[in-house]
Structure 1
Amino acid sequence: MEQLNLIYGKHAIEEFAQKHPKMIRKIWVKDFKYIEKFTNLEEFGIKVIKSNDEQLNKMFYEEVNHQGIVAEVKEYNYVPFAQALENLKDKSTAIVLLLDQIHDSHNFGAILRSASLLGIEQVVILDRKQVSVNSTVVKTSAGTVYDLSISKVSNLNNAIREFQQHGFWVYSTNINKHSVDIRKVDFAQKTVLVIGNEQKGVSDLITKNSDMNIFIPSTKIIDSFNASVAAAIAMFEIANKIGKLD
């Protein structure tokens, strides 16, 4: 069971079934009344299995509040980078999130959940040295990963150059002598936000190739924000400033 992509909870699964019914393989329920609102189960061939709390609990390594309902969803399909660029070319306002080697599945899932809530059009990750969409990412994102367009590339710097050629400005979160307080930045309508690795941050070459380095102010009690927290704060600031939250 540990290899399955699982989501859980009444509201999360009901919403997922409405938006992505083709992506559901099976649903385990403690009580069939939990799926009374699901009108498309038969249409999409979704198998429903009666279970009890003990069986549902065993599906997870840790204790979760599954509320008596768990669903298995299909593997995530990445969008080819060329197609992602094509989808973005006619947009006058867009935010792209570029992740520089995020290693922790929980961080990645949390980042994707915030990205979905804040209207991020595209996510770009490396095809190596970066966690992919796995069952932990699916669970941590509450299934919102399936609402997002994610592309894998072999070289993030090449991707940055292509975005710049398509009219995007690239902002890397990086604390250095050239960094600008995020509150003082007038973000471009077409923005690429770069979030760095949990330990090393944004790489030197990506920092150099970005149009601007930005930082999130803090009390500096510890070194920096967690990667997922920094991503959420920065995405909100950008989305708010360019009018995506109006």
Structure 2
Amino acid sequence: MQDHGRDKKDSKIYIVGNKPVKELLLDSPQRVDFVAFRKGRRDKAMEEIFDLCRTAQVPFKSVSAKELDYMYRGNHQGVAARCAALEYTPLERLLEQAPDAPLPLIVALDQVQDTGNVGVLARTVHALGGAGLIVCQHHGAYLGAGAVRSSAGALNKLPVAKVGNMANAMKDCVNYDFTLYCARMTSDSDNVYSAELRTPAVLILGNEEKGIRPGVAKFANHSLHIPFLREFDSLNVAQAGAIIVSEFARRLG
């Protein structure tokens, strides 16, 4: 039985069939974006897949037979798992290896949703020696072939950890003795060019419209802002992230 295919639009990888999907959830659940199953399907094999999804916090949803056929043309047995176009790194491994990077800085993206922004940030972090990225499993940009292209391949070279709960991930970073910085303008935020910058560190960047969620920001030790010399609304997240990452690199150099 053929067990995988690619969506033509963005080279999204689909693993299909009861056994292949079950094995994927057992071996590499961090690679799975979601599992789609045919509406109305309820059987022992499907219940086992549901249980694995719940354990690994992988979203699953029912779709029409037509939608499933659109995802994968072939014998899918009523179930398909969509996978990212890159391998993810476990958060613990990223935190253990980060202090040895040329620039011991991890960039955490709190629900950053624009694929192009993620790609540009990956290029910047990789080029300047950064340790890696942390991205959200839910409500973040889909890191398919489009994101890999916009990163000029950097996403395939840079460690990327995908987490189900960004707040818990930031708590883990604190426990590993990382200094956490939020990129945001607040009443007590520091000018990035005069602030004391320590490494190993995590730079948290927020959603394009809503910014960093309070539950994530509360773990940060400091907030950083970029001073503007002209009246201007804001920079987008990729521009702001690139400026702050480059300042960390300049200090370390």
TM-score range, shorter chain: 0.5 to 0.7
CA distance in 2, matches of 1:83, 1:120: 15
Q: Which residue of 1 aligns with 2:98?
A: 88
Q: Which residue of 2 aligns with 1:150?
A: 160
Q: 1:111 aligns with which of 121, 133, 136?
A: 121
Secondary structure at the counterpart of residue 79 of structure 1: coil
Secondary structure at the counterpart of residue 184 of structure 1: coil
* Residue type of the alignment partner of 1:175: M
Measure how far apart 1:223 and its partner are.
Answer: 1.8
CA distance in 2, matches of 1:181, 1:121: 23
Contact between 1:187 and 1:242, CA under 8 Å: does it hold in 2? no
Measure how far apart 1:129 and its partner are.
Answer: 0.5
Identity of paired residues, percent? 26
Contact between 2:113 and 2:208, CA under 8 Å: does it hold in 1? yes
Measure how far apart 1:186 and its partner are.
Answer: 1.5
* Residue type of the alignment partner of 1:105: T
Contact between 2:103 and 2:129, CA under 8 Å: does it hold in 1? no
**Higher mean C-alpha deviation, range 88-97 or range 111-120:** 88-97
Measure how far apart 1:115 and its partner are.
Answer: 1.1
Contact between 2:11 and 2:145, CA under 8 Å: does it hold in 1? yes
Q: Which residue of 2 aligns with 1:97?
A: 107
Secondary structure at the counterpart of residue 182 of structure 2: strand
Q: Which residue of 2 aligns with 1:4?
A: 11
**Paired residues, what number?**
175
Alignment of 1:73-222 (within 5 A): 75-88=85-98, 94-222=104-232
CA distance in 2, matches of 1:92, 1:228: 21
CA distance in 1, matches of 2:101, 2:174: 14
User: TM-score, with normalisation over the residues of structure 1?
Assistant: 0.66
Secondary structure at the counterpart of residue 188 of structure 2: coil
CA distance in 2, matches of 1:89, 1:181: 25
Secondary structure at the counterpart of residue 189 of structure 1: coil
Alignment of 1:26-105 (within 5 A): 75-88=85-98, 94-105=104-115
User: TM-score, with normalisation over the residues of structure 2?
Assistant: 0.64
* Residue type of the alignment partner of 2:137: D
Measure how far apart 1:89 and its partner are.
Answer: 6.1
**Higher mean C-alpha deviation, range 83-92 or range 228-237:** 83-92
- Alignment RMSD, CA only? 2.0
Superimposed CA distance per residue, residues 180-238 of structure 1 (whole angstroms, 9 cap, x where no aligned partner): 10011121121110111111111122222210011011135332111100010010001
Measure how far apart 1:82 and its partner are.
Answer: 2.2
Gaps of 5+ in 2: 1-7, 13-83
Q: 1:230 aligns with which of 232, 240, 248?
A: 240
CA distance in 1, matches of 2:249, 2:101: 15
Runs of 4+ aligned residues of structure 1 deviating over 3 Å after TM superposition are 88-93
* Residue type of the alignment partner of 2:11: L
Measure how far apart 1:177 and its partner are.
Answer: 0.3
Superimposed CA distance per residue, residues 57-91 of structure 1 (whole angstroms, 9 cap, x where no aligned partner): xxxxxxxxxxxxxxxxx920001112222323667
